[in-house]
Amino acid sequence: MINNDEYRPFHEPWHAQIFALTIHLNEQGHFEWKDWSQAFSEALSLESSNGAIVKDEDYYLVWLKTIEEFLAQNGKLKSDEITSYFDAWSAAFLSTPHGQPVKLKNLSSG
């Protein structure tokens, strides 16, 4: 059975996005890969004990939660900052008419 052509690294755009974001931060020297990978392994094994990792979505949900905590621990991001942007993006989506590009209002100037 040949399935190289089935290579499908990412099942959802946000999986790719959080993956790339993590790689990029590491490439920029914001943390050591081994520190990230240790944090991620620990988080995964915690989830795995519940038998939780079945789909890619489960895996990337752990990734997302871990990177958020990891960046907070490293002093790169505060959780209230993320909350502000989360709310701002939600509002932007809800106030943008269907079919138009959704843009974030600049938080720092507004």
- Contact between 53 and 64 under an 8 Å Cβ cutoff? The reply is no
Contact characters 47-86, other proteins, x per CB under 8 A? -x--xxxxxx--xxx--x--xx--x----xx---xxxxxx
Q: Cβ of residue 102: shortest distance to other proteins, in angstroms?
A: 7
CB of 98 to other proteins, least distance (A): 6
What's 110's DSSP letter? -
Per rule CB under 8 A, is residue 32 in the interface with other proteins? no
Q: What is the DSSP string of 35-101?
A: HHHHHHHHHHHHHHTTT---SHHHHHHHHHHHHHHHHHHTTS--HHHHHHHHHHHHHHHHHSPTTSP
User: In this complex, which beta carbon is closest to other proteins, that of residue 16 or of residue 73?
Assistant: 16
Confirm or reject binding of residue 46 to other proteins (CB under 8 A).
Answer: no
Indicate whether 103 belongs to the interface with other proteins (CB under 8 A): no
